[in-house]
Amino acid sequence: MSTTETTASGIGPVEGAPGYSVENPAPVIEAPRKRTKKTPKSTRGNFEMYGWLFMRLSGVVLVVLVLGHLLIQLVLDGGVSKVGFAFVAGRWASPWWQVWDLLMLWLAMLHGCNGLRTVINDYAERANTRLWLKALLYTATVWTILLGTLVIFTFDPNIR
Amino acid sequence: MATPVLDKEEAAGKPEPGFADSPYITVTFRVRRFNPEVSAEATWEDFQLEIDPKERVLDGLHKIKWDLDGTLTFRRSCAHGICGSDAMRINGKNRLACKTLIKDINPEKPITVEPIKGLTVLKDLVVDMDPFFQAYRDVMPFLVTKDTNEPTRERLQSAEDRARFDDTTKCILCAACTSSCPVFWNDGQYFGPAAIVNAHRFIFDSRDEAGEQRLEILNDKDGVWRCRTTFNCTDACPRGIEVTKAIAEVKRALITRRF
Ligand code: HEM
Ligand code: SF4
Ligand code: FES
Could you read off the pLDDT of B97-123 as tens digits, one per residue? 999 999 999 999 999 999 999 999 999
Q: Choose the final residue of a domain: B127, B158, B180.
A: B127
Q: Which of A65-79, B78-92, B159-173 has the lowest mean pLDDT?
A: A65-79
Establish if B51 belongs to a structural domain. Answer: yes
- Report the C-alpha gap between B114 and B33 in whole angstroms: 8
- C-alpha distance from A147 to closest chain B C-alpha (Å): 31
Q: A22 and B37: CB-CB below 8 Å? A: yes
- HSE-up of residue B202 (Cα within 13 Å, Cβ side): 22
Q: Calculate what percentage of chain A has a pLDDT beyond 70.
A: 80
Confidence of residue A8 (pLDDT cuts 50, 70, 90): very low
Q: Do the domain assignments include residue B48?
A: yes
Residue whose CA lies nearest to ligand 1 atom number 30: A112
Last residue of a domain, one of B81, B106, B127: B127
Residue-wise pLDDT for A76-90, tens only, equals: 878 788 888 888 888
Distance of CA A135 to the CA centre of its chain: 12
Mean pLDDT of A7-28: 65
Query: What tens digit of pLDDT does each residue of A43-100 get?
Result: 567 899 999 999 999 999 999 999 999 998 888 878 788 888 888 888 888 899 999 9
Please tell me whether residues B47 and B147 are part of one structural domain: no
Q: Is residue B3 part of a domain?
A: no
Asked if B149 and B241 sit in the same domain, the reply is yes
Single-letter amino acid, residue A8: A
3-state secondary structure labels for all residues of A99-143: HHHHHHHHHHHHHHHHHHHHHHHHHCCCHHHHHHHHHHHHHHHHH
Q: Which residue out of B69, B186, B216, B255 would a mutagenesis test of the A interface target, given it has the greatest number of A Cβ atoms within 10 Å?
A: B186
Question: What is the per-residue pLDDT for B20?
Answer: 60
One domain for residues B123 and B134: no
ipTM of model = 0.78
Q: What is the pTM of this model?
A: 0.84
**Domain presence at residue B105:** yes
Banded model confidence at residue A39, pLDDT cuts 50, 70, 90: low
Provide the CA B134 distance to its chain's centre, in angstroms.
Answer: 18
CATH number at B68 reads 3.10.20.30
Q: Mean of the pLDDT values across residues B245-255?
A: 96
**Same domain for B136 and B101:** no
Looking at the fold, whether B23 and B100 belong to one and the same domain comes out as yes
Q: Is the pLDDT of residue A132 over 80?
A: yes
Domain count, chain B: 2
Instruction: Give B154's contacts (C-beta < 8 A, 6+ positions apart).
Output: none
B4 part of a folded domain: no
Range of the domain at B54: 9-127
Does B84 lie in the same domain as B50?
Answer: yes
Say yes or no: B195 and B111 in one domain: no
Q: What percent of chain B has pLDDT over 70?
A: 92
Q: Establish if B123 belongs to a structural domain.
A: yes
CB–CB of A122/B228 below 8 Å?
yes
Residue B229 lies in a domain: yes
| Residues B120-138 pLDDT 10s | 999 999 999 999 999 999 9
CATH of the domain at B252: 1.10.1060.10
**Inter-residue long-range contacts of B207-214, CB under 8 Å, 24+ positions, other chains counted:** B207/B143, B207/B145, B207/B155, B207/B157, B208/B143, B208/B144, B208/B145, B209/B144, B209/B145, B209/B146, B210/B140, B210/B144, B211/B253, B212/B257, B213/B140, B213/B144, B214/B139, B214/B140
Q: Picking from B73-77, B159-163, B253-257, which range would have the lowest pLDDT averaged per residue?
A: B253-257
Q: Quick one: B153 and B170 in the same domain? A: yes
Which protein residues are within 6 Å of ligand 2, measured from CB? Answer: B 171-177, 193-194, 197, 236-239, 241, 243
Q: Which residues of B115-150 are buried (b: 16+ CB within 10 A; e: fewer)?
A: bbbbbbbbbbbbbbbebbbbbbebbbbeeeeeeeee
- At A14 the pLDDT is 54
Q: Are residues B84 and B33 in the same domain?
A: yes
Q: Determine phi and psi for B27, rounding to 5 degrees.
A: -125, 145
User: Which domains, ranges and CATH numbers included, belong to chain A?
Assistant: 47-154 (1.20.1300.10)
